Structure 1
Amino acid sequence: MSLNLSENEIKCLKEVEFWRLSKEVNKKLEVFLYDIQHEYEAILNDSSNQNIQFLSSSHRKVSKGNNYKGLPYLVLDYPAIFDRKNIFTIRTMIWWGKFISLHLILKGKPLNDLKSAIKSKKSFLSDKNFYFCIDKTPWNHDFSPDKHIQYEVLTDEIFDKQSENFIKTGKYCDVIGFEDWQDFCTTNFKNLIYTLK
């Protein structure tokens, strides 16, 4: 059996420097997420939001992998509650070649407790250019039109139907805007915390 490689595939096989460099970039991205978590923690601690006083700030893990829809990624879930029935997280995700995003994901008791607060902030979320997930699962994080719609076109009927199982709302900033990532993260973390009041 012969191995057939195109010219571009041979170049890829010979590539060494990119993989060395990508490890360094990944280390820097991981440090960035841990640093931003400290900023989130300060925002959460300063919040007077009674609706989220149940949240623990003990979760401190950056997850990473090499194959989210074919590309590497890093994920920070903070704050985070995950059990068999309940989910509350604000997920910060860096998706190589695509963007950094923040998503609020709720399911179970947090969903039931906070649904009306989020629904009441529809105008606020529209003004801040957030998206609402209309997918069947909360674990698709791209912003394609078949998975997310902008709040300005979100109807009460769509919200009510979708929020029977989970709510996911989010926003993203392209990779080319990486200089703005810190401000993007802290500003939109504050916006999401405000949404829960």
Structure 2
Amino acid sequence: MESFELTPEEAAVVESTHFILLKNSAIEKIMVLMGKLQEALAAYDRNSNFPFKPEWLLQGGKISKGEQYKGLPWVMLDYPRYFSKTEVFAFRTMFWWGHYFSATLHLAGNVKRYYSAVLESSYTKLAEAGFQVYVQEDPWEHDFENGNYCFINTLSLDEWKTLISRNDFIKVAKPFVIGHWGKIITDVVEAYAALLNILENKGA
């Protein structure tokens, strides 16, 4: 039978409202930050003329939050986003409590196939920019732990091409330390711009 007795540390936490109130206040500020980030990404889009294909039916940005991504709170912005049963074009920014922010380009289905060649040819640019690639089979893991990601610059060109062709999706991402709070919006927009500039080589 599982014990319900609290440890001294647990007892100190449940007897106090201070930590929970601080946590709730921090999460609300992160939600505001994500809203400002969406505005910054949208402003970049207005000035970039990136050729989003009309059949992707891009939806408006979505900010969501939860308490239990591997036991810890999280906040997530999907912008831009297109999700269907088989296809994805999404740029996802995630805050994971106690860990980091991350910015991830997720392509799947025909969208991923459309960009496969330009991703292959952009190996050097992505590697030099410090991006990582997801190497597991489940596309809905978001963290950089447990070997989920590896730096593109640690792969050979042949290994990179194999990863691109292996699954029906690909995720290219970069984490940002929470301590650089004031730079998060700038850093994420720069990562977004770099990725769109690479994809734009595909043409219309």
Q: Tell me the TM-score normalised to structure 2 length.
A: 0.89
Structure 2: how far apart are the matches of 1:23 and 1:8?
Answer: 20
Corresponding residue for residue 111 of structure 1: 112
Partner of 2:87: 86
What is the percentage of aligned positions where both structures have the same residue?
26
Q: CA deviation at 1:56?
A: 5.2
Alignment-derived partner of residue 187 in structure 1: 190
- 2:152/2:160 contact within 8 Å kept: no
CA shift at 1:3, angstroms?
3.5
Contact 2:67-2:74 at 8 Å conserved across structures: yes
Match of 2:168 in 1: 165
- Taking only aligned residues, the RMSD between alpha carbons, in angstroms, comes to 1.8
The SS at the match of 1:196 is: helix
Deviation for aligned residue 1:108: 0.5
Note if contact 1:41-1:57 (Cα within 8 Å) is conserved in structure 2: no
Amino acid at match of 1:181: I
In 2: Cα distance, 1:58 partner to 1:91 partner: 13
Kindly tell me: are residues 14 and 161 of structure 1, through their superposed partners in 2, closer, same or farther at Cα, counting changes over 3 Å? same
In structure 2, the partner of 1:72 is 73
Stretches of structure 2 that go unaligned for 5 or more consecutive residues are none
Establish whether residue 144 from structure 1 lines up as the match of residue 153 from structure 2.
no
Taking the aligned partners of 1:170 and 1:17, their CA distance within structure 2 comes to 35
Q: Does 1:131 align with 2:132?
A: yes
* Distance in 2, Cα, partners of 1:56 & 1:36: 21
Contact 1:82/1:88, CA 8 A, preserved across alignment: yes
The amino acid of 2:160's aligned partner reads F
Q: 1:60 deviation in Å?
A: 2.6
Q: Which residue of 1 is the match for residue 20 of structure 2?
A: 19
Q: Which runs of 5+ in 1 are unaligned?
A: none
Partner amino acid, structure 2, of 1:129: G
**Secondary structure in structure 2 of the residue aligned to 1:78:** strand
In structure 1, what is the Cα distance between the partners aligned to 2:149 and 2:134?
4
- Contact kept in structure 2, 1:77 and 1:89, CA below 8 Å: yes
TM-score by length of 1: 0.92
Residues in 2 aligned to 1:3 and 1:173: alpha-carbon distance in whole angstroms: 38
| More off after superposition, 179-188 vs 153-162 | 153-162
CA distance in 1, matches of 2:8, 2:124: 52
1:61 deviation in Å?
A: 1.8
Given that residues 107 and 166 in structure 1 are in contact (C-alpha distance below 8 angstroms), is that contact kept between their aligned partners in structure 2? yes
Q: 2:183 is matched by which residue type in structure 1?
A: D
Alignment length, in residue pairs? Answer: 196
Q: Distance in 1 between matches of 2:162 and 2:25?
A: 44
Q: Deviations over 1:159-194 (max 9, x none)?
A: 333333211000011112212212111111111111
Report the counterpart of residue 98 of structure 1 in structure 2: 99
